[in-house]
């Protein structure tokens, strides 16, 4: 059985199909994902088994629906296979998370992102085809540790065990120096992807680009190289 809470008059069929997201499970993690996607102007279908959660998120989603995501028929009737991305954010109930992922992959949803509770959960959803598996607490813990141990690291994304992207704060040491002067790739094996200065973002900066103190450099590289650049280069 599926109940709908319509915020807008249109039906799913006429919703713009460019980028549609469905978020299943409106706890702390799923709730934040849902609100942020909606704030960014995307179409978001919010699903939870509990009515008070659905009521709460009616104002932070395009549509909010009470449904049990382990019920294949319920998902079918929501047209979930038409969604480009479905985020399974069911936390504690690992069984429901696994079953939901299985149903979504059987329905051929192209991108199923799953919040995993632990390594066993991770392994199972990986086996049944989850396209991306997220460990919010672990990932946030790593980020916080990076912030705590370096005043220069503003943000941090782990790409693999070896490679990362970091957002580094430029110090006085590199003030008024161009990328050629610094020769970062040759000296440190890292690549500057972008330079942020206030609201401006310079993507793929030219070699002549000059860095100013307090610029934010978005840098990709091997963790060891990034560490060396952070310690010695910036």
Binding site for ligand ADP (CB under 6 A): 24-30, 47-50, 53, 68-70, 89-93, 96
* Own/partner pairs, 225-228, CB within 8 angstroms, 24+ separation: 225/188, 225/189, 225/190, 226/164, 226/166, 226/188, 226/190, 228/188
98 or 195: CB nearest ligand ADP: 98
96 or 164: CB nearest ligand ADP: 96
121 or 233: CB nearest ligand ADP: 121
| Residue 179 φ then ψ, to 5° | -65, -30
With beta carbons less than 8 A apart as the criterion, state whether 169 and 195 touch. Answer: no
135 or 228: CB nearest ligand ADP: 135
| CB 90 to ligand ADP: min, Å | 4
Strand 85-88: give its sheet, edge to edge: 3-6, 63-66, 43-48, 20-24, 85-88, 111-115, 132-134
Q: Which residues contact 7 (CB under 8 A, 6 or more apart)?
A: 58, 59, 61, 62, 63, 64
| CB 74 to ligand ADP: min, Å | 9
With beta carbons less than 8 A apart as the criterion, state whether 90 and 29 touch. Answer: no
Q: How many CB atoms lie within 10 A of CB 173?
A: 12
| CB 69 to ligand ADP: min, Å | 4
29 or 229: CB nearest ligand ADP: 29
Residue 208 CA to residue 177 CA, distance in Å, equals: 9
| CB 143 to ligand ADP: min, Å | 17
Residue 103 CA to residue 106 CA, distance in Å, equals: 5
Residue 33 CA to residue 56 CA, distance in Å, equals: 14
| CB 1 to ligand ADP: min, Å | 12
| CB 93 to ligand ADP: min, Å | 5
């Amino acid at each position: 059985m599926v109940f709908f809470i319509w915020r807008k008059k249109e039906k799913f069929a006429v919703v713009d199909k460019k980028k549609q997201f469905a978020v299943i499970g409106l706890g702390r993690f799923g709730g934040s994902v849902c609100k942020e996607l909606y704030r960014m102007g995307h179409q978001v279908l919010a699903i939870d088994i509990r009515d008070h959660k659905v009521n709460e998120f009616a104002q932070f989603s395009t549509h909010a629906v009470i449904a049990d995501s382990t019920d294949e028929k319920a998902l079918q009737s929501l047209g979930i296979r038409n969604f480009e991305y479905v985020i399974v954010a069911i936390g504690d109930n690992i069984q429901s998370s696994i079953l939901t992922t299985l149903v979504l992959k059987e329905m051929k949803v192209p991108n199923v992102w799953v919040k995993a509770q632990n390594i066993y959960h991770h392994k199972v959803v990986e086996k049944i085809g989850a396209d991306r598996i997220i460990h919010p607490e672990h990932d946030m813990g790593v980020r916080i540790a990076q912030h705590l141990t370096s005043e220069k690291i503003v943000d941090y994304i782990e790409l693999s065990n070896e490679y990362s992207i970091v957002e580094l704060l430029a110090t006085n040491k590199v003030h008024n120096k161009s990328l050629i002067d610094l020769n970062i790739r040759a000296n440190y094996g890292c690549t500057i992807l972008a330079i942020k200065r206030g609201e401006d973002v310079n993507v793929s900066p030219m070699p002549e680009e000059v860095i100013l103190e307090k610029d934010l450099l978005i840098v990709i590289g091997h963790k060891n190289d990034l560490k060396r650049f952070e310690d010695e280069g910036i």
